[in-house]
Amino acid sequence: MPFRHKRNIMPLIVKAAELGFAAPQVVAHRVTRMAMAGVSPTARDRNEFRRMGTEKIAAFMESWSAMAMETLRANQALIASFWSWIWSPWLDRKPCTTSHLHNAALGVLGKGIAPVHRRAVANAKRLTRTRLF
């Protein structure tokens, strides 16, 4: 399966920047909430703390599986490119190059950051509307 397009790096940069702004906001809000809750958190605090843990695990698992599937797809494309070059050298096809590998790596990174980005940005929006006390 030949590589058909170049990946644009800008969406990955934008997601990384948004994640870089959203994650500290979420952490600051949650740490403040933990400090204010003290030894006897309210039901609302306990729900937020529980949600914090389950969201991290879910985002990690979703990110891991998306990266694994994209890696599998990229490996299949690279193998197909290699074998078509080996078995059909007269067709003037080029073997995989560093740009193919670069595009494959960007694809894996993009798939991996998407679930974490989605949850962190959504949490930042939700928690900015939430009062701490």
Residue 16 vs residues 20, 57, 70, 112: alpha-carbon distances, Å: 6, 19, 18, 11
Query: What is the full per-residue pLDDT of the chain (133 aa) written as tens digits?
Result: 454 555 678 889 999 999 999 999 999 999 998 999 888 898 988 998 999 999 999 999 999 999 999 999 999 988 888 887 777 777 666 666 777 888 889 999 999 999 999 999 999 999 988 776 6
Query: What is the rounded distance in angstroms from the CA atom of residue 45 to the CA atom of residue 98?
Result: 50
Type of residue numbered 15 = K
Check if the beta carbon of residue 3 is closer than 8 Å to that of residue 100: yes
78 closest CA partner among 130, 1, 133: 1
